[in-house]
Amino acid sequence: MSNTLLQFNSLAQLGQALSARKLSATELAQDCLKQIQDQQALNAFVHVDAELTLTQARLADAAIAAGTAGPLTGIPIAHKDLFVTEGWRSTAGSNMLKNYVSPFDATVVRKLREAGCVSLGKLNCDEFAMGSGNEHSAFGPARNPWDPSAVPGGSSGASAAAVAAKLVMATTGTDTGGSVRQPAALCGVSGIKPTYGAVSRYGMIAYGSSLDQAGPLAANAADLVELLDTMSGFDPRDATSAEQCHSVANAPGRIRSEYQSTNAQYAAQGAQPLKGLRIGVPREYFGDGLNNEVAQAVEAAIAQFEALGAKRVDISLPRTQLSIPAYYVIAPAEASSNLSRYDGVRYGHRSESYTDLADMTARSRAEGFGPEVQRRILIGTYVLSHGYYDAYYLQAQRLRRMIADDFQTALTTQCDVIMGPVTPTVAAPIGHSQDDPTADWLADVYTLGLNLAGLPGMSIPCGFGRGASGRQLPVGLQIIGNYFDEGRLLAIAHQYQQTTDWHQRIAGQA
């Protein structure tokens, strides 16, 4: 049996087939379960439970039969294993939580379930979202559908791989320093990280709480609208959830209506839909270290936006390089604090041999956490410790404000959106950074600033470049907007996807 999802380019198309009863949600879920089995070599899923999935699919079919279905009813999705789920294990890619079963659903999981989505299970990721290649997972690396010897990116690596391989229609991911945008770019799918506070963090296993945001991944921008709009909204259970987005309430409908009204405005401009749009192109994003083919693909995409009527503006984000040290102080500091909860007492791994309570905790943590997580806990502990707090942590937070101010200067005085590459290169081979734990860190240079500033940003496919094995691998274009600009960003991406077909290329068939 061939993969049913290959027949559908968009969520809307699939939704129509479901509501017209051309196929049932149950048949579709069964097919997805089979595809997941057939493509186990990707190591995308870490937990599948057919019974739980089929129960959700039957509910979707009942809703369709009763005429109460919405646009997401019956749509097969899957969650990054950083979201806690009732029923499916929630591991964060860690041995620490290998057998953890959550007594509640994350808000994002609940909202998508209530909208009728059918979950196929839990997706592999870097342990506690710490990594850029999905290699730091206790369950082994996930693979890139375009080239199984290459990484899918990370930390939401399998979230991107599962969409690219058409195992599901869409997935959830989390983005602390680029973890939605970077794997989306490396796997040739679309992904968005919303403004900090737009989506609830409740039930999302914490890494760096002032940076973490959930975001969806799917084939195209129009699909992302439906998912993100459903996921977003104020949640009293998340202390940093935004109640208002400027003067509009943070509630489902906000992003969709901004997307629709922006698209209507563009449609009224005829052949030059983006006339008047100023695209800031930061010169620091095109410096040393950027691969030629990636640069060419990104340049070609920007030229396409110009052909649609947009104007290119040269801008500067002078502290781009400094986002690396700022992020790698702040994120590990928050991680060391967040991960102190894993003590071997209330939940998680407990060592079998120990002398006393303190020894039990220290051994449980050393056994439960992988090397990258331990490194980040140690460095975070150091920068927060007495005598170093001012020099590292406060200094990084001051730099954080300067970086946020640089984005504001650009976005309020020079341009409406910012565009550039997501990554300096296409996907690297699995194992490439084995000997140097910090090699991957430097490649995060184009994505970290956004999280430090809390701004929304997305990645859409814009071309290909040659990977180490000689295969053609996807390149992503990053589009950054000002606070709560999600609807407009998605409309801009949609305009591009109306006139290009990079987002329709399918791994193995391109």
Partner 1 sequence: MALTDQEVVRIARLARLHLTEAQQTQAKTDLNKILGIIQTLQAVDTTGVEPLAHPLAAVTEVSLRLREDQVTEISSVERREALMANAPGSAQGLFLVPKVLE
Write out the catalytic residue numbers.
80, 155, 179
What is the nearest approach in angstroms of partner 1 to the Cβ of residue 196? 5
How far is Cα 5 from Cα 292, in angstroms, rounded to an integer?
Answer: 34
Tokens of 392: 């590292």
What is the nearest approach in angstroms of partner 1 to the Cβ of residue 405? 7
Partners of residue 464 on adjacent β-strands: 474
- In degrees rounded to 5, what are phi and psi of residue 170? -155, 165
What is the nearest approach in angstroms of partner 1 to the Cβ of residue 476? 23
Nearer to partner 1, 243 or 314 (CB): 243
Nearest to 486 by CA among 319, 242, 284: 242
Nearer to partner 1, 46 or 399 (CB): 399
What is the nearest approach in angstroms of partner 1 to the Cβ of residue 90? 10
How far is Cα 178 from Cα 451, in angstroms, rounded to an integer?
Answer: 8
| Neighbour order of strands in the sheet with 118-123 | 45-47, 118-123, 76-80, 170-175, 213-218, 190-193, 457-466, 472-480, 417-421, 278-282, 311-315
Query: Please, how many CA atoms are within 13 Å of residue 365, restricted to the half-sphere of its CB?
Result: 19
Look at strands 244-245 and 417-421 and give their pairing. unpaired
**Burial of residue 247, with CB atoms counted within 10 A of its CB: 0-12 exposed, 13-18 middle, 19 or more buried:** exposed
Tallying the residues shown for the chain, one arrives at: 510
Tokens of 168: 């599901």
Whether residue 84 contacts residue 203, with contact meaning beta carbons closer than 8 Å, is answered with yes
Nearer to partner 1, 63 or 384 (CB): 384
Nearer to partner 1, 312 or 350 (CB): 350
Nearer to partner 1, 26 or 195 (CB): 195
How far is Cα 152 from Cα 324, in angstroms, rounded to an integer?
Answer: 22
Strand ranges in 374-456 using DSSP code E only, listed in sequence order: 417-421
Nearer to partner 1, 38 or 405 (CB): 405
Nearer to partner 1, 338 or 497 (CB): 338
Strand ranges in 49-151 using DSSP code E only, listed in sequence order: 76-80, 118-123
What is the nearest approach in angstroms of partner 1 to the Cβ of residue 239? 6
Look at strands 457-466 and 190-193 and give their pairing. antiparallel
How far is Cα 324 from Cα 71, in angstroms, rounded to an integer?
Answer: 40
What is the nearest approach in angstroms of partner 1 to the Cβ of residue 56? 21
What is the nearest approach in angstroms of partner 1 to the Cβ of residue 60? 27
